[in-house]
Amino acid sequence: MELAKSGPVADHAVYIRELLSRVRAALTGYVIEEGFSEGLHADGWARPKIGFRIRPLEGIRALRVPGWRPDYAPTPASLTVRLEGDLVGDTTVGHGVFEVSIGGAQFPITRAARLEIECQPAAGNPGGAPVMTRWRPV
């Protein structure tokens, strides 16, 4: 009886791990995520580098990148944003809540593009680096 139930339990565990590995970026505005993100965790933490593909429903004039770094994280931290591999934003952030606005020559974004956001140095917790709660296009 116990062996008969361990197989389905293991199958459910695999399915749950798969679901948790497919976290979508919390985007707002006229944009959707295509495919799967990399580096985001279901508990809200993010690895030092995350990436995902966005598809605008209307032209995106700028991006707002809000997040949070814990008090124990090394400061200052460098936050870089790349669009299709090109640097579109580079700034420093400290402890606590932050929000960075990104705009420039690459905007408006009118077709699907890969967005990568990196924050170094990492916060040093087992989950990765800063908590990046959401990504908000303007």
Q: What is the pLDDT of residues 58-114, one digit of tens each?
A: 999 998 888 888 888 888 999 999 999 999 999 999 888 888 899 888 889 999 999
DSSP reduced 3-state for 15? helix
Mean pLDDT value across the chain: 82
- Residues pairing with 32 in the sheet: 55
pLDDT (0 to 100) of residue 1: 59
Domain containing 94 — which CATH number?
A: 2.60.120
DSSP reduced 3-state for 27? strand
Q: Where are the alpha helices (DSSP H) in 22-138?
A: none
User: What confidence tier does 56 reach under pLDDT thresholds 50, 70, 90?
Assistant: very high
User: What confidence tier does 125 reach under pLDDT thresholds 50, 70, 90?
Assistant: low
What residue numbers bound the domain in which 93 lies? 2-137
The beta strands (E) that lie in the chain are given as 31-40, 46-56, 63-69, 77-83, 86-93, 96-102, 113-120, 136-137
pLDDT (0 to 100) of residue 46: 83
CA separation for the pair 78, 54 (Å, rounded):
23
Q: How many domains does the chain have?
A: 1
User: What confidence tier does 134 reach under pLDDT thresholds 50, 70, 90?
Assistant: very low
Average pLDDT of span 10-37: 81
Tens-place pLDDT, residues 111-120: 999 999 999 8
